[in-house]
Structure 1
């Protein structure tokens, strides 16, 4: 198999976020299948390859560049194709809605079915695959005493959550607000009864979607009862009324009432085994093996053949609509 270069702006510091950790987890899974390395392109790091140096190296035709940082993808693709039009590129798509388009020569691997559907419509002639993010094995119910009634992380939380709902809950319950990096998030989830997550407002401001939403699933795996928004990739696995509760439901009073009921009758969430199986490393590695095998075959084909399916451009769409109108008039 071809070697994979995972391009990220940096491996920490100002670039630290859930998307970066998810990408680095994917890199580790890839390394169990083929040769794979991380490459930074903004932040130079002593122990990590830098893109400019990699592009000066030989035999890049036997490699694949994996781009993922949404806002940087168009520039990275242009840079790579200008360096060598024959470079093989994969887009590992987390969030959707960045607005750019990709040619059919660039396959897309999506982390959620929500993003899969987005790119299935936006790039109908590209190869598209689904590879969910990994939920590490440490996220499980340890059956320990839970001393935190309500847990919430400040980052990505809505103004309503932080300024209205949390102050109201603090009058009655032990509420723990996380506003900094947590070394052992699984331990914190196991100490908590209810986890609140409301990211719809945050992503609406960013203009893109929630790519996957790792933390609500990690909390569920640890037995928390989750109150969450169901925007973007969260809709892949959240099922209000069955495995979670919809947050910001009509009124603050109604939210408080439902959380009170859950806490008064608290039982740890007990997910069926099959629910998390899809997101554990074994299942993802098996899917990744199939995907990478197919992509290597595709890049072999692409090296010797041109794309022949007309692109779904704005002009072609207008032409197709005009043809449909003419056919209606004729009938």
Structure 2
């Protein structure tokens, strides 16, 4: 297999976020399959290869560049257009298109559906993000009734629901980085997550939504929005509850009932196993074999499948209108 260069702007600091941690986990898993290396392109870091230092190399035929940072993808794809590129797509909704020569690996079926419509002539694959083994139910005492992470939370959640809940139970709002989130989830009875408003403001989708699944894996009862990639695995009424259910008081009543109930919703192990390392490594190996075969074969073929451009879409629209007019005219003269 070709060597993989995973491109990230940096490995921490101002670039720290769920998407970066997910990408680093994928990089670590890829290392178990083929030669893989991290490459930064915005800031130089000790003992990490920098993108601009690669290009003096005579040949990069045996290298695949993995790009993932949504806002940087167009410029990176253009910069690397003469090399083998794979787009590792987390969120959806970025206003760019990619040529069919760039295979797309998506982290959720929701994102896969987006790119299936946006790039119908590209090779597209599904590779879920990893839920690490430390996210498991330790069956310890849960001393936190309700846990909320302030980041990405809606105004409704922070300004309406949380103040009302604080009148009735112990609520812990996290507004800073947590080193061991799995321990916190294991201390929590109910976890609240409501990101639809946040992602609507960003103009892109929730790519995966790690925290609700991590919370479920730790035995929390989860009240969540079901936007974007969350819809891949959240099933309201079966493994979670839909938050923001019509009324603040109705939400409070449901949450308090859940805190005090012995009937718990769980994420079935067969569902969770899809996101564990063993399954992801197997899937990634098959995907990489397919992509390597594509890059081996690509020089033998020409790209003769017409892309659905705005011009083609316009032509198809007017063709459809003309066919309707023609049918009406024919019926009038019969």
Offset of residue 145 of structure 1: 0.5
Which residue does 1:316 correspond to in 2?
312
TM, length-normalised to structure 2: 0.96
Contact 2:138 2:218 in 1 (8 A): yes
Matched, 1:171 2:167: yes
1:262 corresponds in structure 2 to: 258
Tell me if 1:238 matches 2:234. yes
Q: 1:128-151 CA distances to partner (integer Å, 9 max, x unpaired)?
A: 000000011111111110000000
Question: C-alpha separation between the residues in 2 aligned to 1:102 and 1:154?
Answer: 34
Structure 2 gaps of 5+ residues are 328-334
Match of 2:214 in 1: 218
- After TM superposition, give the deviation of residue 172 of structure 1 in Å: 1.6
The SS at the match of 1:55 is: coil
> Which segment drifts farther, 257-266 or 222-231?
257-266
Q: Is 2:300 the partner of 1:304? A: yes
Shift of 1:266: 4.2
C-alpha contact 2:238 2:265 (8 A) present in aligned 1: no
TM, length-normalised to structure 1: 0.96
Q: Look at both structures and tell me which one has the larger radius of gyration over its CA atoms.
A: 2
1:320 Cα offset (Å): 1.7
1:288 aligns with 2:284: yes
Measure the CA separation in 2 of the matches of 1:119 and 1:48.
Answer: 31
After TM superposition, list the pairs within 5 Å mapping 1:95-110 onto structure 2: 95-110=91-106
- SS of the aligned residue for 1:59 comes to coil
Name 2:62's counterpart in structure 1: 62
Contact 1:131–1:287 (CA<8 Å) still a contact in 2? yes
Query: Secondary structure of 2:291's match?
Result: helix
1:267 offset after TM fit, Å?
A: 4.7
Matched, 1:155 2:151: yes
Residues 193, 266 of structure 1: 8 Å contact kept:
no
Give the equivalent residue in structure 1 for 2:247. Answer: 251
Instruction: State the partner residue of 2:86.
Output: 90
RMSD over aligned Cα atoms? 1.1
Contact in 2 for aligned 1:193/1:268 (Cα 8 Å): no
Q: Which shifted more, 261-270 or 175-184?
A: 261-270
Q: How does 1:122-133 map to 2 (within 5 A)?
A: 122-133=118-129
Structure 2 CA distance for aligned equivalents of residues 228 and 53 of structure 1: 44
More displaced, 47-56 or 88-97?
A: 47-56
Matched, 1:26 2:22: no
Distance 2:159 2:226 in 1: 21
In the alignment of these two chains, the number of paired residues is 327
Q: 2:110 aligns with which of 114, 132, 140?
A: 114
2:225 corresponds to which of 211, 229, 234: 229
Cα deviation, 1:211-253, whole Å, max 9, x if unaligned, reads: 0000000000111000000000000111111111111111111
Does the residue aligned with 2:189 lie in a helix, a strand or coil? Answer: strand
